[in-house]
């Protein structure tokens, strides 16, 4: 039995959409009672159409937004994210890369300082040279030349921005990396490069991955287990190969059949 790293029970996120004295309160149920587990070393895929709650789940388990109800246990522990120390130790172990590679980087900071910034929080007594060396080493790991150290995000390409995002997430050697649609803003050839990079880094850094995507072919290629989401609920989950072979739910069947096949049927 593999070790459980994350346990989510009955997680809910509801947004109020009308507010007033006489109007009945209505809610958008972005995430509506989701439960799943993540085990050490696996790659868990979360798929679903737009608005199915994939990104919301990412932000919830990262505590970037407050949950409505439910339990999120990381490493068997319920993190109290209103305590500074706990959130700090949590952020060291669990990191996220975002969908919008360019917008997720502070436009006023150089690539080097973006990657270096998290280093200072956890390693206070690291010297300037040491941290710069670590940043440059990591930059070469993610395939960025060290010439880019003093460049700004607007001066590099989208694919390079996403590599910066990955480097920034990995600088403190986390054990879990959540990828919230990391390639959907990039074009196809760059997508493949970034996916290959993630695969290499997963082994090099012993990462456990959560991979969110609406692109089933991507998920099929890299995930061990898959969760299928629709309107905030889990419709189906299981081992990737099984699920793709014998989808049980009609929604899953529809999703899978919508993947364009490399050899189009005539």
Binding footprint of another protein on the chain (CB under 8 A): 62, 64, 84, 87-88, 90-92, 95-96, 98, 100, 103-108, 117-118, 121-122, 152, 154, 165, 168
Q: Is the dihedral of CA 91, 93, 98, 101 positive or negative?
A: positive
* Complex with another protein: residue 168 or 220, whichever CB lies closer: 168
208-213 and 176-180 as β-strands: parallel, antiparallel, unpaired? parallel
State the nearest-atom distance from the C-beta of 100 to another protein, in Å.
Answer: 5
Q: How far apart are CA 103 and CA 108, in angstroms?
A: 12
First to last CA, the chain: 46
For the chain, the residue count is 266
If the CB atoms of residues 177 and 219 are measured against another protein, the closer one turns out to be 177
Least gap, CB of 113 to another protein (angstroms): 10
Name which of 84 and 203 has its Cβ closer to another protein. 84
Kindly list the distances between the CA atom of residue 19 and the CA atoms of 16, 56, 62, 69, 264, in Å, as whole numbers in the listed order: 7, 22, 28, 20, 50
- Whole-number minimum distance, CB 81 to another protein, in Å? 11
Burial bucket for residue 260 (CB in 10 Å: 0-12, 13-18, 19+)? exposed
- Closer by beta carbon to another protein, 163 or else 220: 163
CB of 96: closest distance to another protein in angstroms? 5
Lookup result for tokens 């440059």 = 136
The secondary structure of residue 146, as a DSSP letter, is G
Which residue, 104 or 160, has its beta carbon nearer to another protein?
Answer: 104
Smallest gap from residue 40 Cβ to another protein (A): 21
DSSP conformation class of 264: -
Burial class (CB in 10 A: 0-12, 13-18, 19+), 168: buried
Beta-bridge mates of residue 212: 46, 180
Q: Which is nearer to another protein, 74 or 251 (CB)?
A: 74
29 contacts 231 by C-beta, under 8 angstroms: yes
CB of 207 to another protein, least distance (A): 16
- Of 147 and 258, the one with the shorter C-beta distance to another protein is 147
CA-based radius of gyration for the chain: 19
Three-state secondary-structure class, residue 176: strand
How far apart are CB 235 and another protein at their closest, in Å?
28
């Amino acid at each position: 039995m593999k070790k459980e790293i994350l346990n989510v029970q009955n997680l809910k996120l509801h947004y109020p959409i009308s507010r007033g004295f006489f109007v009945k309160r209505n809610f958008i149920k972005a995430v509506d009672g989701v439960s799943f587990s993540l085990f050490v070393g696996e790659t868990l895929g979360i798929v679903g159409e737009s608005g199915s709650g994939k990104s919301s789940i990412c932000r919830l388990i990262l505590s970037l937004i407050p949950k409505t109800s439910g339990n999120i246990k990381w490493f068997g522990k319920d993190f109290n994210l209103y305590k500074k120390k706990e959130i700090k130790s949590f952020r060291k172990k669990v990191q996220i890369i975002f969908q919008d590679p360019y917008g997720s980087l502070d436009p006023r900071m150089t690539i080097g300082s973006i990657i270096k910034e998290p280093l200072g929080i956890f390693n206070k007594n690291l010297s300037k040279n040491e941290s710069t060396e670590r940043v440059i080493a990591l930059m070469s790991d993610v395939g960025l030349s060290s010439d880019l150290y003093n460049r700004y995000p607007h001066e590099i390409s989208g694919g390079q921005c996403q590599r910066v995002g990955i480097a920034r997430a990995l600088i403190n050697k986390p054990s879990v990396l959540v990828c919230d649609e990391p390639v959907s803003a990039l074009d196809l050839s760059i997508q493949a490069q970034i996916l290959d990079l993630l695969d290499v880094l997963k082994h090099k850094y012993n990462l456990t991955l959560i991979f969110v995507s609406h692109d089933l072919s991507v998920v099929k290629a890299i995930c061990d287990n898959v969760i299928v989401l629709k309107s905030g609920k889990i419709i189906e989950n299981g081992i990737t190969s099984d699920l793709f072979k014998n989808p049980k739910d009609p929604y899953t069947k529809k999703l899978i059949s919508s993947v364009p096949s490399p050899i189009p049927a005539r």
